[in-house]
A and B are shown apart, each in its own frame.
Chain A
């Protein structure tokens, strides 16, 4: 069974640029969530994708966008990068999205460390 993988491992960008981060979900998982973890803080929920549709979003501006593909892999795109976007970006997969009364454990990838200069 293949776990969650993310690419690239590290990335350096300058302010105003755009970035795309990639995630392959764990085998058998159709739901992908993205988190931002700033230094010294816990992960913060950005959004979730289920069956190629956005299925919930945290408190992040529209310049954070995503995609999910038919094979359940996912991309996180960030436009007009700001210095505060520097963080570890984590992708997590789960077997299914949250349903009423049901919550599934999420399995995380190792993350992509983004530095914005």
Chain B
């Protein structure tokens, strides 16, 4: 039973365009969400997070949107760069779960020059 889903295993985007990565969750107790980026042979690197009291958080080229009623969040990367090519993981946690983050299966983003 996957509590965090990323239904697109892969995504290809042209350099300079917008990349949109989607994530859905089923557990309504989740109240904190993160995106991690992972390059081959490296551990996941924290990218951006959002608390359930917000619906948007922005950090440079990266924006995360949260739609609590739909249990859906998305990561927007604008403009996309070739260096953004990596696997992106969505993760969720609940305050009562402590640091038990539940990860999605990941989406492989390829930004084409």
Q: What is A's interface to B at a CB cutoff of 8 Å?
A: 4, 31, 33, 35, 40-45, 48, 55-56, 58, 90, 92, 94, 97-111
Contact = CB atoms under 8 A, between A and B. Distances in A.
B103 A101 contact: no
Given A98-B95, A103-B32, A45 B100 contact: yes
Main secondary structure of the interface of B (DSSP, over half): mixed
Interface in B29-74: 32, 34, 36, 41-46, 49
B105 A42 contact: yes
B98 interface: yes
A31 B104 CA distance: 23
Nearest to B36: A108
Nearest to A88: B43
Nearest to A55: B98
Given A42-B89, A43-B89, A98-B95, A106 B101 contact: yes
Contacts of A48: 98-100
B84 to A, nearest CB: 18
A31 B4 CA distance: 24
B105 to A, nearest CB: 5
A4 B45 CA distance: 11
B28 interface: no
A102 B95 contact: yes
B98 A98 contact: yes
A98 B45 contact: no
Contacts of A56: 97-100
Given A43-B89, A48-B100, A58-B100, A90 B95 contact: no
B100 to A, nearest CB: 5
